[in-house]
């Protein structure tokens, strides 16, 4: 039995940046929900807002609990939910990004997700996922907002 198509509309308002609405569709509504909360956390880290990232991680935890094989992602998300420290959250976000990519592959039925990389993050580089092509670095926020590049397009 296949999962119902689930559509996510991502329309984030960032000052001095024009974004058009991007629709992603997933074959698994639980994965769609998890990705929506992942984006929430990413955007809060871009904005250097640890309180909202913590709340987003709490919501992500609920979504991940419904996905088989998501224990490692759940562990990383829990570290973000348990901390108010941006440095701790950003380190855990790197692990979360790697695990989220694994969960997403094969479930996207429409749209694209960009896999981005910052070579300076976390003393060796770190990846993150984004629904937009523009680089908005969650590891440095405003300090180095556009540091990074798209390394892969996941469809």
Q: What is the CATH number of the domain that holds 27?
A: 1.20.120
Which residue segment(s) compose the domain that 86 sits in? 6-109
The band of 13, judged by pLDDT with boundaries at 50, 70 and 90, is: very low
pLDDT, one tens digit per residue, over 91-103 is: 999 999 999 999 9
Domain count, the chain: 1
Alpha carbons 124 and 51: distance in angstroms, whole number: 26
Task: Confirm whether 136 is domain-assigned.
Answer: no
Task: Confirm whether 93 is domain-assigned.
Answer: yes
pLDDT value at 80 more than 50: yes
pLDDT value at 20 more than 60: no
Helix (H) or strand (E) holding 114, with range, is strand 113-118
Task: Confirm whether 145 is domain-assigned.
Answer: no
What is the arithmetic mean of pLDDT over 135-153? 96
Task: Confirm whether 37 is domain-assigned.
Answer: yes
pLDDT value at 8 more than 90: no
Q: Annotate 8-70 with three-state secondary structure.
A: EEECCCECCECCCCEEEEECCHHHHHHHHHHHHHHHHHHCCCHHHHHHHHHHHHHHHCCCCCC
Tokens of 27: 């074959």
Task: Confirm whether 121 is domain-assigned.
Answer: no
Task: Confirm whether 129 is domain-assigned.
Answer: no
Task: Answer with the residue of higher pLDDT: 26 or 12.
Answer: 26
């Amino acid at each position: 039995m296949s999962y119902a198509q689930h559509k996510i509309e991502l329309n984030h308002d960032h000052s001095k940046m024009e974004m058009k609405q991007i629709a992603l569709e997933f074959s698994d509504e639980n994965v769609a929900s998890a990705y929506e909360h992942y984006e929430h956390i990413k955007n809060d880290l871009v904005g250097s807002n640890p309180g909202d990232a913590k709340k987003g991680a709490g919501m992500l935890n609920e979504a991940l609990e419904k996905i088989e094989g998501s224990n490692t992602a759940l562990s990383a998300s829990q570290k973000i939910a348990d901390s108010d420290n941006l440095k701790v959250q950003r380190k855990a976000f790197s692990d979360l990004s790697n695990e989220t990519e694994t969960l997403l592959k094969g479930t996207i039925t429409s749209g694209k997700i960009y896999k981005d990389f910052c070579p300076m993050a976390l003393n060796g580089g770190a990846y993150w996922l984004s629904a937009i092509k523009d680089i908005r670095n969650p590891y440095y926020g405003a300090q180095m907002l556009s540091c990074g590049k798209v390394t892969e397009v996941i469809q």
